[in-house]
Amino acid sequence: MAIRDLVILPDAVLRQVSAPVEAITPEIKALASDMLETMYDAPGIGLAAIQIGVPTRVVTIDLAKQDEEKTPIVFINPEITWSSEEMNVHEEGCLSIPEYYEEVERPARVKIRYLDLDGKEQEIEADGLLATCIQHEIDHLNGVLFIDHLSRLKRERVTKRFAKQARRESAA
């Protein structure tokens, strides 16, 4: 297991669409392990492989608080098969857009079909924070960021701020 570097906005890698996993290999299991370690270290509650520069459809999520027992879930090739008409608003943040939070409206409940690390097809129905988190991470797999759900003005403001910060860091 290894902690990997996070890809930070405005890196264009974040806009790549991730490729499906063809087989659950030892490399995919190692990737999931590294993703969990990276997510816990950040700390965060969800991570898509593209956020560590790997354009493959793998997501890790663990909603346990720091003082609770870890309950990690690894989603391989996750897809939303159903979403409720009822909407919910959650404040979202992103490890690839550090220290920026904004309220985002998404479906309140979703059904997700995915493969687990044993290659078995699973389906779960999620609501609340888990529904928000899995939708956020699946967006990443499709090159979509949570700021894309905001107004154009807010999205441009945060994008410019991170672009300016990246220029300062590369000049240093």
Q: Which residues are catalytic?
A: 137
CA-closest candidate to residue 131, choices 65, 36, 35, 61 = 61
Residues 59/141, Cβ–Cβ less than 8 Å: yes
- CA–CA gap between residue 148 and residue 124 (Å, rounded): 26
Amino acid at 146: F
Q: Rounded to an integer, what is the distance from CA 128 to the centroid of its chain?
A: 16
